[in-house]
């Protein structure tokens, strides 16, 4: 084990985290709150973001001891406050701090771009971020790529870029240790636990890099209950994440057609799926819903196809099932809109729709690639008047419109669409709320409502429709 892997009496390891998005910020809090047996912090943590408006705001909030994203997870909120007060968590937009880091975590985006309807990875932006590390990184540092990337990225892109930049500075590239350990961060009620109390896969471009990565992660993650899994290469680790998310996306897409069948023949598919889940081999079967969103499942299934073509130069590996799953999931919000249109005899023009939930998943204020955006844009295009509501979102960045956070009265709305199963929505007393006026259609697009809530709605005489229920 290298001396850099052991915090000594003179000081702690310095960890720089590139990218302060939903993953990087959470990893920064988790790392800064890793303690030794005497309750002393193991790391000095510095988050690094771009000098954009959003980046500067995240830096400001972290330095003020505030977690920069809306969340219901009190652990991560308290963790950010404690670490900032303790003095071992800070943030900056100055990339020169990479030169002071013993460990650098790469938690930046790997976006998709479309060229003539063909998905491609935005390697140009990714390489630019890696260059900024190579221009500053010190010898014997450990680089861990957390970003979900096309298989082969660490070996074919990260390693050569770092080597080129390090050589320019007269340093030995073999002294830079590169590893991959993909994140499984789940913003929401268990945001912090999805890092520290969850399984992790890792690999290194060399055995030494893998050893160093293992030593680092074992100080942050509860490895006794959630042991680490080492794979033989970074390409294997990268493939694990892409395959993991592709499987989940395909599982969701598979259920979509069964939802339409259940609605047509008059059965409750959620009850059917609950019965199936009692069989241990089928416990992870998905369920029908409003749509797939977020930064992972909407693009990761396409990364294997991109890797085959752009990194390995292979032909014949088109991954048709993964590609079709993405297409099916992208269309899911329009199914809900179609059923609402059908209820209103073929048109939503002039109809006032209250859209309950615009984040991509429950109990998180993240609207990236949200299925609500697809629904909203199409409904507005057809002449509907859509009012967005979300208890965790103040402003819808993608659409540049404000979002209601207080529950409005149902009077005046023709339809109320529950799209996201936020905990707050399951607490609505419909017996009281619907008394305030109106008889709008209540549409449960994502199994949001409880059995009691559905009963209260029908007792009030309001029409109720659901995805996945006949």
Residue 265 pLDDT > 90: yes
pTM for the whole structure: 0.91
What average pLDDT score do residues 422-437 get? 93
Q: Please tell me the total number of residues recorded for the chain in this structure.
A: 470
What average pLDDT score do residues 437-449 get? 94
pLDDT of residue 296: 86
pLDDT of residue 118: 87
CB 91 within 8 Å of CB 3: no
What average pLDDT score do residues 27-39 get? 96
| Spatial distance between the Cα atoms of 79 and 85, rounded to a whole number of angstroms | 10
What average pLDDT score do residues 386-394 get? 96
- Sorted by sequence, the CB contacts under 8 Å of residue 126 that are 6+ apart come out as 108, 110, 147, 149, 153, 157
Question: Which DSSP letter does residue 312 get?
Answer: S
| Spatial distance between the Cα atoms of 221 and 190, rounded to a whole number of angstroms | 14
Query: How far is C-alpha 164 from the geometric centre of its chain's CA atoms?
Result: 32
Residue 467 pLDDT > 80: yes
Residue 4 pLDDT > 80: no
| Spatial distance between the Cα atoms of 219 and 222, rounded to a whole number of angstroms | 8
Q: Which segments of the chain belong to CATH 3.40.50.720?
A: 3-232, 248-466
What average pLDDT score do residues 381-386 get? 98
What are the helix (H) ranges across 140-287?
A: 153, 159-168, 193-196, 207-217, 234-265, 269-277
User: What pLDDT, in 10s, does the model give residues 70-95?
Assistant: 999 999 999 999 999 999 999 999 99
What average pLDDT score do residues 17-30 get? 97
pLDDT of residue 294: 84
Q: Which of 53, 61, 7 is nearest to 31 (CA)?
A: 7
| Spatial distance between the Cα atoms of 173 and 167, rounded to a whole number of angstroms | 7
Tally of CB atoms within 10 A around 272: 15
| Spatial distance between the Cα atoms of 386 and 401, rounded to a whole number of angstroms | 11
CB 322 within 8 Å of CB 301: yes
Mean pLDDT of the chain: 94
Order of strands across the sheet that contains 441-444: 385-389, 352-356, 415-418, 441-444, 464-466
**DSSP run (H or E) holding 14:** strand 13-18
| Spatial distance between the Cα atoms of 408 and 418, rounded to a whole number of angstroms | 14
For 3-232, give the CATH class. Answer: alpha beta
| Spatial distance between the Cα atoms of 110 and 18, rounded to a whole number of angstroms | 13
pLDDT of residue 142: 98
Place of tokens 């809109």: 337
Measured CA distances, 309 to 141, 306, 314, 316, 340 (Å): 32, 5, 5, 9, 41
- From start to end of 64-189, where are the E strands? 89-92, 103-106, 112-115, 118-121, 142-145, 177-180
CB 5 within 8 Å of CB 216: yes
pLDDT of residue 9: 37
Tally of CB atoms within 10 A around 39: 6
- Band (pLDDT 50/70/90 cuts) for residue 437 is confident
User: What pLDDT, in 10s, does the model give residues 184-221?
Assistant: 999 989 999 999 999 999 999 999 999 999 999 999 99
- Sorted by sequence, the CB contacts under 8 Å of residue 74 that are 6+ apart come out as none
User: What pLDDT, in 10s, does the model give residues 197-206?
Assistant: 999 999 999 9
- Sorted by sequence, the CB contacts under 8 Å of residue 422 that are 6+ apart come out as 357, 359, 362, 363, 390, 391, 392, 448
- Sorted by sequence, the CB contacts under 8 Å of residue 376 that are 6+ apart come out as 355, 358, 386, 388, 399
Residue 119 pLDDT > 70: yes
**DSSP run (H or E) holding 77:** helix 74-86
pLDDT of residue 102: 98
| Joined tokens for residue 231 | 């794979």
| Spatial distance between the Cα atoms of 437 and 457, rounded to a whole number of angstroms | 13
CATH of domain 248-466: 3.40.50.720
pLDDT of residue 436: 83
Q: Which of 122, 97, 93 is nearest to 110 (CA)?
A: 122
Residue 6 pLDDT > 60: no
- Band (pLDDT 50/70/90 cuts) for residue 48 is very high
What average pLDDT score do residues 303-321 get? 94
Q: Return the bridge partners of 464, or none.
A: 442
| Spatial distance between the Cα atoms of 125 and 133, rounded to a whole number of angstroms | 13
- Band (pLDDT 50/70/90 cuts) for residue 113 is confident
What average pLDDT score do residues 145-161 get? 97
């Amino acid at each position: 084990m290298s001396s850099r892997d052991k915090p000594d009496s003179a000081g702690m390891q310095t960890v720089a985290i590139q990218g302060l998005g939903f993953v990087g910020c959470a990893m920064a809090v988790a790392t800064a709150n890793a303690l030794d047996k005497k309750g002393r912090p193991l790391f000095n943590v510095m988050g690094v973001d771009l000098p954009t408006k959003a980046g500067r705001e995240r830096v400001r909030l972290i330095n003020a001891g505030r977690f920069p994203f809306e969340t219901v997870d009190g652990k991560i909120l308290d963790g950010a406050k404690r670490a900032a007060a303790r003095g071992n968590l800070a943030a900056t937009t100055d990339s020169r701090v990479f030169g002071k880091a013993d460990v650098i975590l790469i938690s930046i985006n790997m976006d998709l771009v479309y060229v003539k309807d063909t998905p491609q990875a935005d390697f140009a932006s990714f390489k630019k971020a890696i260059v900024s590390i190579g221009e500053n990184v010190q010898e014997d540092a450990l680089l861990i790529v957390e970003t979900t990337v096309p298989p082969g990225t660490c070996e074919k892109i990260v390693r050569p870029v770092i080597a080129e930049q390090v050589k320019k500075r007269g340093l030995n590239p073999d002294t830079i240790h590169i590893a991959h350990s993909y994140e499984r961060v789940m913003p929401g009620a268990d945001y912090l636990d999805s890092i520290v109390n969850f399984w992790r896969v890792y690999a290194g471009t060399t055995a030494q890099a893998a050893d160093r990565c293992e030593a680092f992660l074992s100080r942050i993650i509860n490895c006794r209950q959630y042991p680490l899994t080492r794979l033989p290469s970074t390409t294997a680790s990268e493939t694990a994440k892409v395959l993991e998310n592709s499987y989940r996306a395909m599982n969701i897409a598979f259920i979509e057609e069964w939802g339409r069948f259940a609605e047509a023949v008059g059965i409750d598919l959620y009850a059917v799926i609950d019965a199936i889940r009692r069989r241990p081999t089928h416990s992870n079967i998905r369920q029908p819903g409003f749509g797939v969103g977020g930064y992972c499942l909407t693009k990761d299934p396409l990364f294997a196809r991109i890797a085959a073509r752009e990194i390995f130069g292979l032909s014949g590996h088109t991954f048709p099932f993964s590609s079709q799953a993405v297409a099916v999931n992208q269309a899911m919000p329009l199914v809900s809109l179609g059923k609402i249109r059908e209820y209103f005899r073929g048109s939503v023009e002039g109809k006032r729709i209250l859209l309950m939930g615009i984040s991509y998943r429950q109990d998180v204020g993240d609207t990236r690639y949200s299925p609500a955006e697809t629904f909203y844009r199409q409904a507005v295009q057809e002449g509907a008047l859509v009012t967005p509501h979300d208890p965790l979102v103040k402003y819808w960045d993608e659409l540049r419109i404000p979002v209601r956070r207080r529950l409005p009265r149902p009077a005046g709305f023709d339809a109320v669409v529950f799209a996201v199963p936020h905990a707050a929505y399951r607490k609505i007393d419909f017996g009281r709320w619907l008394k305030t006026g109106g008889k709008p259609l209540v549409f449960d697009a994502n199994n949001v409502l409880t059995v009691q809530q559905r009963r209260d709605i029908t007792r009030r005489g309001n029409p109720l429709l659901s995805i996945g229920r006949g």
